[in-house]
Amino acid sequence: AQRVTQPEKLLSVFKGAPVELKCNYSYSGSPELFWYVQYSRQRLQLLLRHISRESIKGFTADLNKGETSFHLKKPFAQEEDSAMYYCALSRRVTDKLIFGTGTRLQVFP
Amino acid sequence: DTAVSQTPKYLVTQMGNDKSIKCEQNLGHDTMYWYKQDSKKFLKIMFSYNNKELIINETVPNRFSPKSPDKAHLNLHINSLELGDSAVYFCASSPNSGDAFFGQGTRLTVV
């Protein structure tokens, strides 16, 4: 069965510190991988997807098929990055999203 | 214009009642979903519809019944509400590119 694991429930850093939110997945095929973000009192929204290989709000994520990981990174955290982050997997473009349990990022001033 | 909109935003009701949550998307997407976010913030798929046809029905009690009158709407009806149904329910739509656009959520509280 497909599974997405986010080992950290909470990650606290100070402003300006590097951030890495971990995500590991289990799926035998070639998955589509995403990071979603939910700011306080706002809807869940797509942050980035692995096939785009883009940087959004300074965040990047590289798919490592050998380690089955898709960690989210940002070199210098900002206070406005504080939010709930979900890693998600889709088996194919028309399939549902399978979410990890989420990591709450707190960035202190 | 809101892309995916849900109503109501908040819903407080007593055990045993029947309630509905409505969802509409104006993005022209073929696929719509209902997700449940529990008190621990776990997000789990409940249902998925593609062009008004049910394609995913996870292990959800049959008290939950989705209805899609057309491609732009996916409503969720819940019968005989229980305390454990309290959660935030998110509607989403997808252009079949793997990602999804979410509504703002409906916080259901069963008392």
Rounded mean pLDDT, B56-67: 86
| Statement: residue B49 has pLDDT above 90 | no
Mutation target among A25, A50, A96, A105 for the B interface, most CBs of B within 10 A: A96
Record: contact B45-A45, CB cut-off 8 A: no
Record: contact A96-B48, CB cut-off 8 A: yes
Pairwise CA distance, residues A66 & A49, whole Å: 18
Query: In chain B, positions 22-61, which contact chain A (CB-CB < 8 Å)?
Result: 31, 33, 35, 40-45, 48, 50, 56
Share of chain B above pLDDT 70, in %: 95
Rounded mean pLDDT, A32-43: 90
| Residue A43, C-beta contacts closer than 8 angstroms, at least 6 positions apart | B4, B90, B102, B103, B104, B105
